[in-house]
Amino acid sequence: MITGTARRNTEVSLMVISLVIAIGGYWLASLSRSPTVPAGIALYGVVYAAIYATAHLAVRKLAPKADSLLLPIALMLNAVGFVVIYRLEIPTENVGLAAAQTQWLVVAIAAFIGVLWWVKDVRALARYRYTFAFAGVVLLLLPTLPFIGREINGARLWIRLGPLSFQPSELGKIALVLFFAGYLSERRELLAVTTRKIGPLGVPALRHFGPVAAAWAVSLLVMINQKDLGSSLLFFAIFVAMLWMATGRPIYLISGVAMFALGAFIASQMFSHVQARILVWRDPFAYINDRGYQVVQSLFAFATGGAWGTGLGLGRPDLIRFSVHTDFIFSSVGEELGLVGAAAVLTAYALMAARGFGLATRCRDDFSRLLAAGLIFTISFQTILIVGGVTNLIPLTGVTMPFMSYGGSSLLSNFIAIALLLRISDEVSRAGGQAPPTEMNLAAGGGR
């Protein structure tokens, strides 16, 4: 059996690689501006080394037997994002983004350590499921309030408190995953009982579709009030996926997809910016001079990058213009690091997903299992949405790339999710790492 010390030693060695990516990439990106050693490299080196060391020591002290890959992967993705954000400062006239992102990383790691210190037993969080439900809904709807809510690019997702702008839905999704895990672990057996058959599918009683209908109604409310398809889709997908994982009933998944398709159709008829995104998705080149410009430039960026990329600082990701450091940061990776670099980033996300879902299968209680699966599904699905959007496989949704995109609220929520996953991993390792043969294990394996 791998000891906690061995896991932490593996973790710190991988974090050194992340540090090399952050500082080495910063240096390489600066060479496109001036053939000298950048003035801030020593400061960034010390700050990032301190951040990584603090995070590692906290895990070694507070969760010594936790997974050794989740935190290094998150920090590596963040390092790549930091380098790309720094590279984009000059051409996009957004000087200071890298420094601001570093400050937010400090806040996110502080929250990460706080969660590890505060949550001694993740199962205790199940007692506060309805508190999390209330907090999650409030955070989702907060941008709709007058005076503090702000509308940007047609979507009302932001709040402004003095000089601080924040996207509360990022924390809201964590609160809602905690609620869903608590609710579904309590009602799992009831929701899994079938009363009739439709072909090969077992169908529960109609009243058990109430939670799905409630989640659908809230997602529509978010879509209508905030005019944002991405947040609405993410919220509803999290609930439906966790409901399916809890019960093993494909009927919930099928009905959820059908209900959201109906809601998206309604939104496309009600909101011009949603309809515009669908039209752009169908033929971006027909709208290259206005609404489709960013998507077309994103496609050009991937084409220009080819297999090996143009090199850091040698591409033109700034041609994408608006939101290149948030919604389109993956396009920058594809252009300057090429197919190889983009594939490496996606492999890191895939490895994180594999570790997270693997952890979920080893949990010894339903709440921990659903919480781990829900958290890693949230990160993975958000990645799929943004990658699919910038490559025009699906309409743009406006969500951010986890750990990589510029933005403090996204960074904060994702590192809180990693902290909860590490707490669960530590508990599983201490308990022996094997899940008992519960009914949920059997249900999750097939669609009865």
- Hey, which residues does 149 pair with through a beta bridge? 159
Q: Report the pLDDT value the prediction gives residue 120, as an integer from 0 to 100.
A: 94
Query: pLDDT tens digit string along 269-285?
Result: 777 777 777 888 999 99
Q: Please give the full DSSP string across 152-202, using - where no structure is assigned.
A: ETTEEEEEEETTEEE-THHHHHHHHHHHHHHHHHHHHHHHH---EEETTEE
345 with 365: CB under 8 angstroms? no
Q: Report the pLDDT value the prediction gives residue 207, as an integer from 0 to 100.
A: 65
Query: What parts of the chain have a pLDDT lower than 50?
Result: 435-448
Q: Report the pLDDT value the prediction gives residue 270, as an integer from 0 to 100.
A: 73
Query: pLDDT tens digit string along 207-231?
Result: 666 777 777 777 767 766 666 677 7
Enumerate long-range contacts of 344-352, CB under 8 Å, 24 or more apart.
345/77, 345/80, 345/404, 346/383, 346/387, 348/73, 348/76, 348/77, 349/77, 349/379, 349/380, 349/383, 349/402, 351/69, 351/73, 352/69, 352/70, 352/73, 352/74, 352/376, 352/379, 352/380
pTM score of the predicted model? 0.92
Q: Report the pLDDT value the prediction gives residue 448, as an integer from 0 to 100.
A: 34
Domain boundaries, the chain: 4-444
